[in-house]
Amino acid sequence: RKEVEQDPGPFNVPEGATVAFNCTYSNSASQSFFWYRQDCRKEPKLLMSVYSSGNEDGRFTAQLNRASQYISLLIRDSKLSDSATYLCVVIGMFSGGYNKLIFGAGTRLAVHP
């Protein structure tokens, strides 16, 4: 089983739609969670952190379910500019006693007019 798994998509949605992505992780000791966004041929950039209580930033809402070991990202009122690949990132303590960032393979979103 992969350490972090995401549906690769693509998700093709019209402008204004609401779309949700899920990401599952295998290490129950994982401590921190993030969503990154990667535009075509660019570097990944932090979109938002994911807190235990859930958090919202404008049209974006992130949630964490520790019991089921998944995080989610909800995008409301999709814009054309939201078209990108969304990467789930997990930080956890691994054998050897170090923290390590693990990236999911990403979910591709395409918003069309």
Partner 1 sequence: NAGVMQNPRHLVRRRGQEARLRCSPMKGHSHVYWYRQLPEEGLKFMVYLQKENIIDESGMPKERFSAEFPKEGPSILRIQQVVRGDSAAYFCASSPIGHSNTEAFFGQGTRLTVV
Query: Contact residues for partner 1 (CB under 8 A)?
Result: 8, 31-32, 34, 41-46, 49, 85, 87, 89, 91, 93-94, 96, 98-106
Cβ atoms of 15 and 111 closer than 8 Å: yes
In the complex, least distance from residue 51 CB atom to partner 1, rounded to whole angstroms? 10
Instruction: Report the distance separating Cα 70 and Cα 81, nearest Å.
Output: 26
In the bound state with partner 1, the residue whose beta carbon lies nearer, of 75 and 88, is 88
In the bound state with partner 1, the residue whose beta carbon lies nearer, of 98 and 113, is 98
In the complex, least distance from residue 104 CB atom to partner 1, rounded to whole angstroms? 7
On the 0-12 / 13-18 / 19+ scale of CB atoms within 10 A, 33 is buried
In the complex, least distance from residue 32 CB atom to partner 1, rounded to whole angstroms? 4
Question: What separation in angstroms does the CA of 11 have from each of 5, 28, 100?
Answer: 16, 28, 29
In the bound state with partner 1, the residue whose beta carbon lies nearer, of 3 and 17, is 3
Nearest to residue 88, comparing CAs of 41, 34, 42, 50?
A: 34
In the bound state with partner 1, the residue whose beta carbon lies nearer, of 18 and 99, is 99
